Amino acid sequence: MYASTRPLEEKIAYCERAYGEAGLPALFRLTPFSEPPGLDEALERRGYGRFEETAVESASLSAVSKPRAVIDLPLDEWVQAIGALRGSTAAQRAGHLARLRVLPLPARPVALLRDEAIVATGLVVVEGSCAGLFDILTAESARRQGHARSIVTGLLAIAWELGARSAYLQVKADNTAARDLYRQFGFEERYQYWYRGREGERE
């Protein structure tokens, strides 16, 4: 909330100690707006490599129809479905479900079925007039068949229905196929963020 007065190196060392005492690696998420100036370079000097460069994109919305193939799922069933697509452990699925259950905003999980099997998923969370799109995932064996397009269309239709007039999403900066798809819905990059972590701790 306020500008810091302590030396940058002292603050970084404090964070390293705090996370170390908790048995956790110190991972830093940065944006072009991160303060103080020089933080990114200081972490580089301390051996923190850059990884997971991600683009934040947004778009204005208009009314669209939800594809019939895109269905709503109960939250617990949806978490199991996306966990299966990702190969998540039982603990990871439980953590994902716990976080979503306490979310204080309207959220709608959806999926797309092919031959009675879930092959794609997505989640929309709405806050006022803005919607966030999350967990857009397609089974590897079912990619390049238009399923992601249907999921995104369905999420945007739900967002409009819930009063959102703009939407945002996050996508890996090097995921050209996904970014090309999102561009067709009017999404444009607003900024990027990335993480810094030490070798062997970047997870």
Question: What is the pLDDT at residue 3?
Answer: 77
Q: How far is it, in rounded angstroms, from Cα 72 to Cα 105?
A: 17
- Answering whether pTM is above 0.95, one says no
Burial 67-78 (b: 16+ CB within 10 A, else e): bebbeebebeeb
Question: What is the pLDDT at residue 18?
Answer: 97
Residue 151: is it exposed, middle or buried by C-beta count within 10 angstroms (0-12/13-18/19+)?
buried
Nearest to 55 by CA among 184, 187, 172: 172
Question: What is the pLDDT at residue 37?
Answer: 86
Question: What is the pLDDT at residue 1?
Answer: 65
Question: What is the pLDDT at residue 202?
Answer: 82
- The CATH class for the domain spanning 57-191 reads alpha beta
Q: Where in the chain is the domain with CATH 3.40.630.30?
A: 57-191
Question: What is the pLDDT at residue 43?
Answer: 97
Q: Which two tokens stand for residue 6?
A: 């302590």
Neighbours of 20 (CB within 10 A): 11
pLDDT in tens, 4-46: 788 999 999 999 999 999 999 999 999 999 988 899 999 999 9
Question: What is the pLDDT at residue 142?
Answer: 84
Q: Which residues of the chain have pLDDT under 70?
A: 1
